[in-house]
Structure 1
């Protein structure tokens, strides 16, 4: 801070030359806490017009980012240079490349008091760095995300204030340093830029109609062909007239299948309502879809560690990352909209081999009790036992199934058990976990929202090969073969993140656009489009 004569001299001259802002900040940090109040001190000590009309009293009178930013610089103005102000304006415009709206970070028009203009410029600067680094929208407000206390590590990223102080000498560099370095963010940002820079041509809506199958003729085929060609799914010019113009042939069907796979639809070449909805989605809606997912990556940039199990809920995938690179992945079945898979971070703590299944209360009430009331033999056919609250087995004939009271249903381990041969457990308040499943055919579907909240993993035993040592994996495999229910503790607990993205770019640069099964995109987009304060 600007303190006493010796420090004032150090701020003016450092080693015979003009000190940079970074050197000033370093020098200030090393000094005693006594402050010589600079010209901006009055705005924080007692808010004055015109700044009090633009800034909340809390921003001026509490030690938040804005006041701390200036306190470290001795309450001296930092935007008096026209060159620096121009560079800040240009750098703020580039926020559009990250899906943020530059108009939400306005710089002040000329004001009678230049000190007030300086404060308003700093607010835009700090807001932009904060939003680019950690996200603009408060995550807990729109998409609550639970974190296990022992899974929260010190944030390795530089603080926003550190970025801001150092960035006074290199504004573009500060914004680049604030941006998440995750490959997933960088790839999605590139895809957003490519889509944003494409010419936005008006495309006709393809009308609804009967289910269209390969080999059929339909008057909508020319519009369908033109749409697929415009988006790069057809490598040959479409035939718009002639005898075959309305024929949905195999070449066109192959293009439709590629479109469907990229949009997380069943790649069967059948054109129904879901495929038509995806095809008729406007370019602006797709841009907005990428914007909300860039925001989700900004939220989670501090949660994704070098070694992480990552469940992509909307995409129905599990990916294991080691050293920041995808090492193993599998398809996943997640919760249906009425029973959503929660968003969380935790640590894998143990494995259950050949698990029994205690039916969760919701499934017991909504699914199992109606089936048992229809046919008491349902219990025998599904190898289920009835237990009281103390875990003692009951005779099903003695239970009043119209009002069964505080009972539990437990299914024995075996081929009919919905948890299969393995459960991967991690602490969380939702009682969800990863598990094997006998419902293997559902992995070929898309989207894969079939479960009651837990995450079913295709080929989950293969996960053991990458998270366990060779010796541990061999031992666990042998114990699974024996068929007994056993617990295996994981000594080196593995971070696991369950999160939600409706757009993703793989390591090959292929953009995948998903459905929004939980309807989370629209509320987030609305919040993202709302100006701060």
Structure 2
């Protein structure tokens, strides 16, 4: 490839100050895109990051982006960041495109261009790898593993092998859900404007054979989202095809698929295309926060979906319904490792439940302690009789519920280290698993069929473990800890959108976390 001459245009800006670069009309540099470079004055890096300074120093402060293909590939990668819910101009797209378009730049402008390319590479790689924002800067009760990325070796590989695009792909989360979210955003961007669709307002639930004006609006929404075939006539009769379409829509949104359009289903139907795009964008960011490696064996909980998946070698070997924290007592997001199981656990009442539940109920009726098989201990660990309990000192006591069928933790508890003192456990309220919306606990996670989960975890420790053996231990009534030797990671996560074989999936933002994150992303 032939070289081209770079002459000053007088319009470039210094990447540090944002001010126009000084004119130097006599200054001319020749750049051969394939192999020729020139040296940048080391003082030009005084305000740069340690990593960028180090990289250029190791290259004797020579320019890095002489290869035209590398530059254009980076521009394409920045443009493609839209599919990740990111904004190309956060990575200087317009400025870089203007530089690339001009074939007559001064040496100073060429230096500015080279450094801006490097800065943009670093920023995009970092954001794809760990997110534009930090979880702890958005949510107080998120405790995820800190992700670190050494970008210099990636830049070296990208420039040496001319694989900028492949390096950016490697920075993205490798998870199927993340890729499905990227596809979701592409799909949503392909849909027509929906602003002409009227909102559905219902006073009473719409049921089979109802003939109402709202039914036509429901059908139009279902047709827009392709749950109802577009060839079907839009009438005001709630017929069989419409009911089946509503069931499909309800399944995609985590509702019980009864085919009845109540207020919850109507609210979901009314959510606009723009709001759904925002929902996908914030979930893309969350997945960039999540660890790239869940571990060989892991328990993964999706809080808004009320589900737990047991993962082994990246394959899902079991799924369980779960109950999670109420909106005013949310289950925290965290990464941890399971360290032991407890058969016939006791339950020590945590501060929130003590304040909001136990104290007012015990004040009203001291039989509360006997009815709940609960013992009271003072600071010196002396047992206090219920009739001696002083409600004014309620928060100075320790309250322990004995093992048994009425125990809040049920027959088994799965423990893992975390600063929130939450864990997985059985429950004495198993009827809750029949509900579609299960944000009902005080923060800990209740799991359905916990002995099946325990058997799969324990069988990796010793093949002799099975549900019969666990049931025998439960029947004995003794509290017993089973410590784990093998690593079982625990990931309590939060995502409200994805795409699978059944199409776009959305879940209710039960803790109202989406809006605040979207605002952070667009600031």
TM-score (normalizing by structure 1): 0.83
SS in 2 for 1:294: helix
Q: 1:321, 1:328 within 8 Å by CA — same for their partners in 2?
A: yes
Distance 1:280 1:68, change over 3 A: farther
What residue number does 2:451 align with? 461
Question: Is structure 2 residue 493 aligned with structure 1 residue 499?
Answer: yes
> Displacement of 1:207 after TM fit?
3.1
**Change beyond 3 A, Cα 1:233–1:509:** closer
In structure 2, the residue matched to 1:128 is: 124
Q: Determine the structure 2 residue equivalent to 1:39.
A: 40
Give the 5 Å matches for 1:270-349.
270-349=260-339
CA distance in 2, matches of 1:237, 1:87: 43
CA distance in 2, matches of 1:447, 1:163: 44
- How far does the alpha carbon of each residue in 1:243-266 deviate from its partner, in whole angstroms, 9 at most, with x for none? xx3232343233222212211234
Change (3 A) 1:19 1:258: closer
Cα drift, residue 91 of structure 1: 2.4
Return the offset for 1:387.
2.1
Residue 489 (structure 1) aligned with residue 483 (structure 2): yes
Separation (CA, whole Å) in 1 of partners of 2:392 and 2:212: 54
Partner of 2:150: 159
Shift of the alpha carbon at 1:405? 5.3
The separation in 2 between residues aligned to 1:465 and 1:504, in whole angstroms, is 30
Corresponding position: 1:231 with 2:228: no
Q: 2:57 aligns with which of 71, 85, 108?
A: 71
**1: distance between equivalents of 2:345 and 2:371?**
18
Match among 203, 206, 210 for residue 203 of structure 2: 210
**Which is further off, 320-329 or 66-75?**
66-75
Distance 2:448 2:117 in 1: 52
Note the C-alpha offset of 1:203: 4.3
Could you report, residue by residue, the CA deviation over 1:414-451 in whole angstroms, capped at 9, with x for unpaired residues?
A: 22111111100001111100001122222222321101
Contact 1:40 1:115 in 2 (8 A): no
Figure out how many residues of one structure are paired with residues of the other and give that number.
Answer: 473
Q: Provide the C-alpha distance between the structure 1 equivalents of 2:34 and 2:485, rounded to a whole number of angstroms.
A: 49
- Segments of 5+ residues of structure 1 without an aligned counterpart are 1-17, 25-36, 46-56
Q: How many Å apart are 1:103 and its aligned residue?
A: 1.9
* Structure 2 contact 248–257 (Cα < 8 Å) conserved: yes
RMSD of aligned residue pairs (Cα, Å) = 2.6
Query: Which consecutive aligned stretches of 4+ in structure 1 deviate over 6 angstroms post-superposition?
Result: 18-21
| SS of equivalent to 1:472 | coil
Cα deviation 1:60-101 (Å, max 9, x = unaligned): 2x41x3223322322111234444433322221111122211
- Using the TM superposition, give the Cα deviation of residue 359 of structure 1 relative to its aligned residue in structure 2, in angstroms: 1.2
Match of 1:515 among 505, 508, 519: 508
Please state if 1:95 is matched with 2:92. Answer: no
Shift of the 305–481 alpha-carbon distance from structure 1 to 2, 3 Å rule, reads: same
Residue in 2 aligned with 1:27? none
CA shift digits 1:441-494 (9 cap, x unpaired): 222223211010000111111102321223133543421232221111111131
Unaligned runs of 5+ in 2: 1-31, 100-104
Counterpart selection for 1:137 from 125, 130, 133: 133
Q: Say if 1:346 and 1:84 are closer, same or farther in 2 by CA, change over 3 A.
A: closer
Tell me whether 1:186 sits opposite 2:179 in the alignment.
yes
